[in-house]
Amino acid sequence: MTHSTYDPIHADRRPWNAGRTMGAKRALKPQQVWAIRFWLEREGRVRDRAMFDLAIDSKLRGCDVVRTKIGDLISGGRVRSRATIVQQKTGRPVQFELLDHAQSSILAWLERRGGTLDDYMFPSRVDREGHIGTRQYARLVDEWVTAIGLRPDDYGTHSLRRTKASIIYKQTGNLRAVQILLGHTKIESTVRYLGVDIEDALALAEGTEV
């Protein structure tokens, strides 16, 4: 729906995206990941450190990070080294590994948080039965990147999802592996997500020489 430029009601309204940087958010570099971890550790942000580590290792969308339940990550009183989450967007399961630093930070948070296997990892402060919202998660990410001197307009929750996938692709060139890790149904989605040239991507996926 459009409005006349002469309509006084809409004359002073700015576009919703005025002043915002549009397009794909940047992935974090390894040194930036560690800078955020150091800052969260120094500030005693136990929950946020667990959330950040989970987001980086899992490569999950923000909606799936906030919906993660304790039982998704814990088995036999220990943090799983490998977990599976059913994605909200696609309804398909995606598997991921949790490395030592993520296991440690998740365990530290759960020791403080308590709860049962059916509870959400990151509960809402308003509704203890619910989970933290995606908007609050996005605000936290803005705070984390700002704390280490990055522009929040350039980064977002998708930056955390893209970070490990981008690193894996740069190190291996294995687009098919990244597709599986991100839970994409089509390799073209992975191509667009990583900003890879389509011909290079298909050649790598087929195992041919470029």
Q: Give the number of domains in the chain.
A: 2
Instruction: Indicate the pTM of the whole model.
Output: 0.76
61 and 140 co-located in one domain:
yes
Q: Which helix (H) or strand (E) segment is 84 a member of?
A: strand 82-86
Q: What is the pLDDT of residues 141-200, one digit of tens each?
A: 999 999 999 999 999 998 898 888 877 777 777 778 777 777 777 777 777 767 654 555
125 and 190 co-located in one domain:
no
CA distances from 55 to 28, 62, 95, 167, 189 (A): 12, 8, 13, 14, 20
Domain assignment of residue 75, given as a range = 30-157
50 and 129 co-located in one domain:
yes
Please indicate whether residue 79 or residue 127 has the higher confidence score (pLDDT).
79
Q: Which helix (H) or strand (E) segment is 95 a member of?
A: strand 93-97
Closest CA to 97 of 54, 51, 147: 54
- pLDDT at position 208: 41
Task: Give the three-class secondary structure for 158.
Answer: helix
46 and 125 co-located in one domain:
yes
Question: CATH code at 63?
Answer: 1.10.443.10
- Minimum mean pLDDT among 26-35, 77-86, 91-100, 163-172: which range? 163-172
Computed over every residue of the chain, the mean pLDDT equals 82
